[in-house]
Chain A
Amino acid sequence: EAGVAQSPRYKIIEKRQSVAFWCNPISGHATLYWYQQILGQGPKLLIQFQNNGVVDDSQLPKDRFSAERLKGVDSTLKIQPAKLEDSAVYLCASSLDRGSEAFFGQGTRLTVV
């Protein structure tokens, strides 16, 4: 069974530029998560989708971050404009349903300079 796919693996941008990350969850998984993981910390949930609807985006900085999962499968996370403090690994995860075990992709390491 294919795992969660994310791209790109690495991205370096200058502050105030925009960037987008892509995630393809495990087939059949209804729940999709985007996490931000700053070096030395645990993952922090940014947004959780159930199919194509948003369940929780309470920790998403909505002035600069946006995410969508239009057809309930793939998802994109965008940052516009980026700040230095956005440097982190952005992890996508999926689970069969809410409350089920989440499986993670390898993440996208973003460096903002």
Chain B
Amino acid sequence: GQQLNQSPQSMFIQEGEDVSMNCTSSSIFNTWLWYKQDPGEGPVLLIALYKAGELTSNGRLTAQFGTTRKDSFLNISASIPSDVGIYFCAGTAGDSNYQLIWGAGTKLIIKP
């Protein structure tokens, strides 16, 4: 079945640093979604992307829908302690019957 490769698996950064993570797929996707999950909570939608090349910002977060439609990245600028959590990419492929396919997540840890 279709899979998403999300990297890195985890990141240790200093407060104030910029963060970048990405997702790649083996097939063309129609939608890319980025979620954040805090411990004990459900995932919360951060950014939704619907068109190839689309670049969308949400505060300090910026995400792009790759022009090949097989990848997406999420950047976080000037990280703060509350950015800690697990970030998931998810997307829908053309033949997936709108089923959301999920990456394995990127765990963001801020070094004290």
Contacts and interface: CB of A to CB of B under 8 A. Distances in A.
B92 A99 contact: yes
Contacts of B31: 99
B66 interface: no
A48 B99 contact: yes
Interface residues of A, number: 22
Interface in B80-112: 88, 90, 92, 97-100, 102-105
Contact of A56 (B44, B48, B99, B102): B99
B59 interface: no
A91 B42 contact: yes
Interface in A56-94: 56, 91, 93
Interface of B: 30-31, 33, 35, 40-45, 48, 88, 90, 92, 97-100, 102-105
Interface string A32-44: 0100000001111
Contacts of B88: 42-43
Contacts of A104: 35, 42-44
A105 B42 contact: yes
19 contacts: A4-B42, A41-B104, A42-B88, A42-B90, A42-B102, A42-B103, A42-B105, A45-B99, A48-B99, A99-B31, A101-B33, A101-B45, A102-B33, A102-B100, A104-B35, A104-B42, A104-B43, A104-B44, A107-B40
